[in-house]
Amino acid sequence: MRRLTLSPRPDLRARATALGFAFAEIAGEPYWDETACYAFTAAEVDVLEDATEALEAMARAAVEQAVAGDRNALLGIPDGAWVLAKESWRRGEPSLYGRMDLRWDGSGPPKLLEYNADTPTALFEAAVVQWEWLECRAEAGGSPEDQFNAIHEALIEAWPRLGLPPRLHFACARGSAEDRGTVDYLRDTAMQAGLETGFLHMDEIGWDGRRFIDLDGRPIDAAFKLYPWDWLLAEEFGAHIAAAPTRWLEPAWRLIPASKGFLCLLWEMFPDHPNLLPAFPEPGRTGGPEIGKPLWGREGANIAAPGIETPGPYAGQPRIWQAYAELPCFDGRYPVLGSWVVGGRARGLGIREDRTPITRDTSRFVPHFFTPAMPAPAGDPTP
């Protein structure tokens, strides 16, 4: 695993526009960054894929244990929401996608930092934008390169397996180009899979006394909402969810792995697993430096780590305490590896990096490639 310094393509902005990448810059600063990329070997990609698959299997087992043992107190899920999460799991409602954030420097086992199981973003840039970047590199010649990236194809293949009604609504809050871009991209993959779709903002979802409806008065039989379950259930809107027949993506049981308390449950069930970091609901139990994370915190807000205290809106929340494994530093940048799970399988990688060890909403997305393993020449003995 190496960080390579590059010269950005001169037509970068035009290419971003052509792709519909409306948030290549955020608040006047580059978000998509072509001044660097990360290079992996094929064997390193295998390590990341295997670790993600192992973590996903453990996560499913931990959700089952959480439901069977009513572990909502550890997770910080209120009773009313807990009933919805349990029923969703017991009905076997399938998940579309998620993103595991991993700490890895190319040596030893990758470590799970957290599981973005409810509303993960950085999807379009991982699935489409960095692939277009790789194709441009291929057109320019040079050594053969590949990318750990089957996200787009996996999403299209996953939609028909979810058992959804023919029409699917997509929704997000107003005001975020990143959220809207992610939703528009997912909607496009659904249409490519043959679904009829519509879009509306969260505040445009109506209630007719029996069911949720769109602006045209049509029933919302199924909806993908890029809006956190913990926010949704805390609003007046959420009071109708239990009574409504709407299918939601992600399903309500994704509240369970989305809670930072889930990291404690994983460590409790699989202590000393090489892909996990010790995590507890109380400080002082990991045996070394610790990082405190709010149960429902996002974007690196209100994090407490050695020498670091980040601001944010989650200061009043309970925290969990995880062993502090500082991100590796390459050329003054700290990368976190986002390993994408689609339909329960590891399907690709996206990398965000920051100037600090805490990945925040100002972090940049950088592409990656790997060098495929070359077959042995004909006649050579098989190793």
Q: What is the pLDDT of residues 313-346, one digit of tens each?
A: 999 999 999 999 999 999 999 999 999 999 999 9
In tens, the pLDDT along 57-84 reads: 999 999 999 999 999 999 999 998 999 9
In tens, the pLDDT along 347-380 reads: 999 999 999 998 887 899 999 999 987 554 455 4
Mean pLDDT along residues 150-156: 98
Name the average pLDDT for the chain. 94
What is residue 275's predicted lDDT score, i.e. its pLDDT?
A: 98
% of the chain with per-residue pLDDT over 90: 89
Which helix (H) or strand (E) segment holds residue 342: the answer is strand 334-342
Mean pLDDT along residues 5-28: 91
- What is the full DSSP assignment across 173-237? -TT-HHHHHHHHHHHHHHHHTT-EEEEEEGGG-EE-SSSEE-TTS-B-SEEEEES-HHHHHHSGG
Pairing state of beta strands 36-41 and 368-371? Answer: parallel
What is residue 374's predicted lDDT score, i.e. its pLDDT?
A: 53
Q: HSE-up of 276 (CA within 13 Å, CB side)?
A: 22
Structure tokens, 158: 């996953």
pLDDT at 150 over 50: yes
pLDDT at 143 over 90: no
Dist CA 268 CA 277 (whole Å): 11
pTM: 0.94
What is residue 380's predicted lDDT score, i.e. its pLDDT?
A: 46
What is residue 382's predicted lDDT score, i.e. its pLDDT?
A: 40
What is residue 375's predicted lDDT score, i.e. its pLDDT?
A: 53
Dist CA 2 CA 23 (whole Å): 27
